[in-house]
């Protein structure tokens, strides 16, 4: 049982916009920023979004993040076949004094 709650799956067709939600609590997303990771099959997670809505260098602007209260969202516009991956949200948790993750969302491009 993950501390942050994500839908297990999401899907879309090429060119479409999809969003993935992440629900937390006052000790994590509610008081700290949310981060998102993309994990392609057989590879390590890659930082996609940090500080709610910031993209590291090299991440396309098709990826965007937002946060409201104790929830965060990742949006992917102009969906492409190579966006098919697992997506994880994460945040610092003040009670744990460490990081917590969502269970991951498997994105399928139809």
Partner 1 sequence: QVQLQESGPGLVKPSETLSLTCTVSGGSVSSSSYYWSWIRQPPGKGLEWIGYIYYSGSTNYNPSLKSRVTISVDTSKNQFSLKLSSVTAADTAVYSCARGDNYYFYMDVWGKGATVTVSS
Q: Which residue, 16 or 51, is less far from partner 1 as judged by CB?
A: 51
3 state SS of 12:
strand
Q: Does 63 help bind partner 1 (rule: CB under 8 A)?
A: no
- Determine, following the binding rule CB under 8 A, whether residue 107 of this chain makes contact with partner 1: no
Two tokens, residue 90: 């994460």
* Beta carbon nearer to partner 1, 13 or 43: 43
Binding partner 1 by CB under 8 A: which of 2, 11, 16, 80? 2
**Could you tell me which stretch among 12-20, 35-43, 58-66, 72-80 binds partner 1 (CB under 8 A)?**
35-43
Neighbours of 108 (CB within 10 A): 12
- Three-class HEC string of 44-98: CCEEEEECCCECCCCCCCCEEEEEECCEEEEEECCCCHHHCEEEEEEEEECCCCE
Residue 33 is a binding residue for partner 1 (CB under 8 A): yes
> Cβ 16 to partner 1, closest distance in Å?
25
């Amino acid at each position: 049982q993950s501390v942050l709650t994500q839908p297990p799956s999401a899907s879309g067709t090429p060119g479409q916009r999809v969003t993935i939600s992440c629900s937390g609590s006052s000790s994590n997303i509610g008081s700290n920023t949310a981060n998102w990771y993309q994990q392609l099959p057989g590879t390590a997670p890659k930082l996609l979004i940090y500080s709610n809505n910031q993209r590291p260098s090299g991440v396309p602007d098709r990826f965007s993040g937002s946060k409201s209260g104790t929830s965060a969202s990742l949006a992917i516009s102009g969906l492409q076949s190579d966006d098919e991956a697992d997506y994880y949200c994460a945040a610092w948790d003040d009670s744990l004094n460490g990081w917590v993750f969502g269970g991951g969302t498997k994105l399928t491009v139809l």
